[in-house]
Amino acid sequence: MQVISIMQGVKQKNNRIQIKLMTKSSLVMRIVLWSFAVFTIMGPFLLNYGTVDWGTAASLTLNNLKMMFLQPAFNQITFTGTLIQISITLALALLATVLGAIIAFFLAIFSAKNLAPAWLSNVIIAGNSFVRAVPTVLWVLIFAIVAGLGAVACVIGMIFHTVAYLTKAFAESFEELDEGTIEALRASGANWWHIIFGAVVPQSSSYIVSWTFLRFESNYGVAVAMGAAAAAGGIGFDLFMSSSFYYDLHEVGMITYCALIVAIILELISIRIKKKLMAQN
């Protein structure tokens, strides 16, 4: 009896023996992951820290964290002003998410392999892969050269990455649709747009809403960072000013708490929406 492959492991589950085979691709993936893990662990020990006094550094770090999170300056910034800045940040995230989701929906239709020609699908997938490979902050800085630092460059940069992200997510949900329904509509004489709005949209609506809101949560975090990096305003710009311009850690702590509370609220809303969509399905 010849052994044609290397057994990675043998597991018994539900009185059935499951054998995992070590393929060439899985072996390469394991080597890469272990290499990353080794380099990550070794990295800090290879850095030149000079004459850093670790005891003093740890003491100052703990003192800074104490001022930020145990002594936040809730009375230095008015509640109304904080709400306005958070509203600006949410508006930037919402605008980028809505416009990006609309564009991504139509791109996803033409990139789903069961709905569009293969050549068109491959072109859109390749373009989206390139866009996703570039971090959002770089897209914002690229558009800042044309539009200048501010909300416009921030929104356009976030839209680019949102479109690439949601196009992939929407297209994958479209490709999981029941082929029998699509074939039945085609056999009945329905044109391409009838199939889209008669089968694709109704069956994928829960995925579309779920992915869009998930991206909105992500864009909120990006908008906070871009408020400082691209001078787009909002709570992120206040955080930058208090941490770098006049260095008030008490105010940094207050702003951090406000941003965290909004993020938690968005997460709770997201969970509720997902539960409602799951109940409908």
Q: What is the pLDDT of residue 249?
A: 84
Boundary-marking domain end, from 16, 37, 66 = 66
In 3D space, the residue among 204, 219, 200 whose CA is nearest the CA of residue 270 turns out to be 219
Q: Are residues 107 and 244 in the same domain?
A: yes
Owning domain of residue 243: 76-280
Would you state the pLDDT for residue 10?
Answer: 45
Number of domains in the chain: 2
Q: 114 and 252 share a domain?
A: yes
Q: How far apart are the first and last CA of the chain?
A: 50
- Report the pLDDT value the prediction gives residue 189, as an integer from 0 to 100: 74
Is 87 within 8 Å of 269 (Cβ atoms)?
no
The confidence score (pLDDT) of residue 1 equals 42
Which domain CATH number covers 177? 1.10.3720.10
CA proximity to 239, closest of 66, 134, 88, 135:
88
Structure confidence at residue 101 as a pLDDT band (50, 70, 90): very high
Same domain, 80 and 59: no
CB 229 within 8 A of CB 149: no
Write the DSSP string, the chain. ----SEEEEEEEETTEEEEEEE-HHHHHHHHHHHHHHHHHHHHHHHS--TT--HHHHHHHHHHHHHHHHTS--TTTS-HHHHHHHHHHHHHHHHHHHHHHHHHHHHHHHHH-TTTS-HHHHHHHHHHHHHHHHS-HHHHHHHHHHHH-TTHHHHHHHHHHHHHHHHHHHHHHHHHTS-HHHHHHHHHTT--HHHHIIIIIHHHHHHHHHHHHHHHHHHHHHHHHHHHHHS---SHHHHHHIIIIIS--HHHHHHHHHHHHHHHHHHHHHHHHHHHHHHHH-
Does 274 map to a domain?
yes
Query: pLDDT grade, residue 75 (50/70/90)?
Result: low
Summarised one tens digit per residue, pLDDT across range 160-192 is 899 999 999 999 888 887 777 777 777 777 777
Backbone angles phi, psi at 16, to 5 degrees: -120, 140
Residue 11 pLDDT class (50, 70, 90 cuts): very low
30 is a domain residue: yes
Choose the final residue of a domain: 18, 42, 66: 66
In this structure, are 105 and 193 located in the same domain? yes
Q: Which of 41, 66, 91 is the last residue of a domain?
A: 66
Same domain, 195 and 263: yes
The answer to whether residue 1 is domain-embedded is no
Residue 77 has pLDDT above 60, yes or no: no
Token code pair at residue 204: 């994928």
Type of residue found at 27: L
* Residues 29, 93 share a domain: no
47 assigned to some structural domain:
yes
Q: Check whether residue 130 and residue 218 sit in a common domain.
A: yes
What angle do helix axes 79-111 and 201-229 make, rounded to 10 degrees? 130
